[in-house]
Structure 1
């Protein structure tokens, strides 16, 4: 991949910041959006030039924000009214498309809906079954339409459940928030945040505009099994199993358990040549043990 350029991130959350740090180490300049001045100071501390975007009003200086930008990452979630980035900046994005060498949109494997534990790949028809996944599927279509109109070199990355430093089941076991909720036949796919960055870097090195990639590890697994393994690594007794029906979950938490699927990452491996640093939760959690 190129060792210089300028990355602009719409949304500088957990995954975007890890990816941005990778590119900074290669000599890239960084810029991105946040929702407040308080968060802007955090971005500056990470070497990211901040621009305020709250999802409603366009950037105050959009032309200045995109000066010299060569690569674009979009991780801002869609809302009830659709994708806020496109709503506020569609015309600008069309104008700057010729200068963009690579663009990535971070979506979710939730767009596949419930497959009763069956396998899905990038050719599987979408069937989102909860509101936020339905919004992601609609946003994917919006971005694909923009790319078709403007030749923006768009790539879509459907991310599985993200974990990494400060966000993992080890931490949950330590602070007492981890639960082993059992729902028959339920399996999840997941991905370490550093492997998300690995995949994005690989895509930049082998751009294929229009491509869609599932980004997940090699081993879908039931959530209770992962929690039990985290407890084992810590030398603690795992929390008791709780039947799903008795878990008392919030509507959002319940929605995570309403779909069961195994996500294939074959295209990610074959087309991008990615070797995952953490091919399963076991390698990921073992490595994270040293960060606690």
Structure 2
């Protein structure tokens, strides 16, 4: 399936989403933001997809927001200062929504990162369930060098992934954190020596997840997100209610039967 700025294929229960503006280092223009949201909302509802792999075409994963879009923010046509700022707030919320769509997608999203992952690229991967990178990949909260505060989710999500001190160092300095250091601090699960190896290993992880019970995988993502944002007591109470409704599934029976017969289970979406 082809979009103007993103390439999408679906194969063997895996949705392969690839940012596709290599001539612009996969910088995200207005079209790309709309397509990113549309794709992840569609994949959320697509029964042919159980897990999603997100990567970038060309030399870089994503170099952030396209400068043309950033400059347009300064040209909001409104004479009233309050109305101008009201429109700016709405625009920022609109730019946050595609990244929220990644986090809210019921299917696990795995980011395969090579080259630069800058600014909005960090926002995007922070919303993914897992991140893998090449050694030469680098991450930069670049907004600080542009006289901005990162406003699309990095400062909210990254402290849930790595130490607060490291988040602050990255956010205050804008320095580049390369793949092996990213693995060391927990920003990525693992870094690999080349893009080819990265894509091969991430695809293998995606295939493993795609073979599991879709109901269990979707439920696990939902519960992990809920637990991240609530206390342990709240999370356990919610978990009890969730499994009271979801535990006695067809997939549970199929999993037990497959184990007793020493074979792999075959789940429907």
TM-score (norm 1): 0.28
Higher fraction of helix: 2
Higher relative contact order (CA 8 A, sep 6+): 1
TM-score (norm 2): 0.30
